[in-house]
Amino acid sequence: MVAARRFGGGGVVDAAVAVIVALTIGYALVDPPGPSSAWPAWSAWPVAAIIGFPVAVRRRWPRTMLGFACAAGVLATVAGAVAAGVIWLSFVPAVLVLYLVAATVSTRWSAAGLAACAFAAVAAILIFYDRVLPGLPPAASPSELPPYWPVEIGAISVLLTAGWAIGTVVRWKRDTTARLVRHLAEAAVDDERRRIARELHDVIGHSMSLIAVKATVANHVADARPQEVRAALAVIEQTSRNTLTEIHRVLGLLRSDGDPQQPHRPVPGMADLPELADHARSAGVEVDLTVREEAVLPPAVAMSVYRIVQQALTNVVTHAAPTRCSVTVEVDGREAVIEVIDDGPRHGRPPRARHGGHGLIGMRERAKMYGGTFSAGRRPDGGFQVTARLPYDPNGTVT
């Protein structure tokens, strides 16, 4: 019943269809192709109204109306209220209700309803032709469609099966569409979770690497150079504050209440690259930053550029500092090209492996999101190189 109410708004249509079906049945009973019913002519109209009534309210009680429609057709046939040659019309309401049942309930239940209606209709027709028809007066004129029970049974069977099949297909399509919508919604949620996870990884990974480096420096020079310790602690304090701000911004994306009073925090972009370079310099990396921006990047692309540079510098600080690193970002209006190259660790310290980490995976996913390319690997003459290309159009969509 609940499933059927999803189809709300069709009550007027059902009432109109019920009237049309009842009028058709009534006219057929008044002027049948075969012998007329022994009942008075005026009785055709109330009989037709009763038979057609289930169609008008089928959306409210589909299962109950299916039983009512089938029972009304069977009783009218067995009682002789219908005429030979048009008995199949008495089961048209059952066909229409069966369609709705098949479209709203389980296939097993609707198939049981189909079998019950078909069996009852066949039994009623056989009884009519065996017991009722012989007692009816012959038709006044030869009929173009003489009474023939196999035709009646065949017509009803075809109509009932067609109504059930169409309803079942409609239900299958609706269920498939609903599953697809749920799948798309779940996929969107998963994508959003992965995006937020990448954001948190980039923010926390970069900041914690810098904090760890400065804390190590402070620990080693605590007694000999207290001024350098205070400078390191200042960097740690500022980095921690910036990290908390970034984390609050990213976690704010998870808010579902749509609070208009929630403060808006700017999304990092191209203008924040010098700050990234300064953070890396404070961790012992000599950063040479070059930005050639011939066109203004859309915010989404600019943030991806920022995150790729941020993660690349994080890897340099973590795996190669102290070292020298060059960062080049070129924007020509069609694509953003990012290149981060470091010279590797100094003092002969062997480099630590960078392959397979979440940082490289995150950078690759950001480039792939825009249909771009990403490569990362060791250089023949030492050091490590990261290159990413992010094609875009002026709206920031994938080209």
- Beta-bridge partner residues of 82: none
The yes-or-no verdict on residue 59 having pLDDT over 80 is: yes
Measured at the CA of 247, the angle between CA 241 and CA 248, to 5 degrees, comes to: 90
Q: What is residue 29's predicted lDDT score, i.e. its pLDDT? A: 82
Mean pLDDT value of segment 31-57: 84
Between residues 139 and 70, the one the model is more confident about: 70
Sole residue written with tokens 């038709």: 139
At position 359, the amino acid (one-letter code) is G
Which whole-number Å values give the CA distances from 14 to 11, 51, 93, in the listed order? 5, 14, 11
- Could you tell me the pLDDT band of residue 92, with boundaries at 50, 70 and 90? very high
- The most confident of the ranges 5-9, 10-14, 124-128 is 124-128
Q: Confirm if 35 and 132 have CB atoms less than 8 A apart.
A: no
> In this predicted structure, what is the pLDDT of residue 7?
45
Q: Among 85, 278, 306, which residue's Cα sits nearest to residue 77?
A: 85
Identity of the highest mean pLDDT range in 118-122, 125-129, 177-181, 348-352: 118-122
The hierarchical CATH code for the domain 270-399 is 3.30.565.10
The more confidently predicted of residues 54 and 218 is: 54
What is the rounded average pLDDT of the residues 93-105?
92
The listed range with the strongest mean pLDDT (143-157, 254-268, 317-331) is: 317-331
Residue 30, helix vs strand vs coil = helix
pLDDT at 228: 65
pLDDT of residue 25: 86
State the pLDDT at residue 6: 45
242 has pLDDT over 50: yes
Of 45, 48, 60, 42, nearest in space to 21 by CA: 48
**Residue 344: predicted pLDDT:** 83
Amino acid in position 32: P
In this predicted structure, what is the pLDDT of residue 258? 46
Q: Regarding predicted confidence, which is higher, 127 or 6?
A: 127
Report pLDDT digits (tens) over 70-83: 999 999 988 888 88
Q: Is 353 helix (H, G, I), strand (E, B) or coil?
A: coil
Alpha helices in 224-371 (DSSP H): 226-252, 273-282, 299-319, 358-369
Burial of residue 249, with CB atoms counted within 10 A of its CB: 0-12 exposed, 13-18 middle, 19 or more buried:
middle
Residue 254's Cα: distance from chain center in Å? Answer: 19
Under 8 Å between Cβ of 352 and 319? yes
For residue 121, pLDDT over 60 is answered with yes
To which residue do tokens 């022994």 refer?
A: 38
* pLDDT mean over 353-377: 76
| Whole-number CA gyration radius for the chain | 39
Q: Is the pLDDT of residue 238 over 70?
A: no
Q: Which element (helix H / strand E) includes 376?
A: strand 373-378
Most confident of 166-180, 309-323, 338-352: 166-180
In contact, 52 and 93? CB cutoff 8 Å? yes
Token pair 């999304």 in the structure block, residue: 267
Mean pLDDT of all residues belonging to the chain:
79
* Residue pair 309/270 in contact by the 8 Å Cβ criterion: no
Segment 38-43 mean pLDDT: 82
Counting residues of the chain whose pLDDT is more than 70, the rounded percentage is 70
Q: What's the confidence (pLDDT) of residue 71?
A: 93
Q: Which has more pLDDT, 26 or 137?
A: 26
Domains of the chain, by residue range, sit at: 2-184, 270-399
Residue with more model confidence, 61 or 202: 61
**Closest to 384 in 3D by CA, of 335, 288, 290, 317:** 317
The model's pLDDT over 261-278, given as tens digits with 9 standing for 90+, comes to 444 556 778 888 998 888
Rounded Cα gap, residues 63 and 49, in angstroms: 19
Strand duo 373-378 + 384-391: pairing: antiparallel
Residue matched to tokens 């990047």: 297
pLDDT grade for 347, boundaries at 50, 70 and 90: low
- Work out the average pLDDT over 157-177: 92
Kindly report, residue by residue over 173-187, the tens digit of the pLDDT.
988 888 887 887 777
Cβ neighbour number for residue 284 with a 10 Å cutoff = 17
* pLDDT at position 102 over 90: yes
Percent of the chain, pLDDT > 90? 27
Number of CB atoms found within 10 A of residue 337's CB: 18
Q: What is the mean pLDDT of residues 332-343?
A: 90
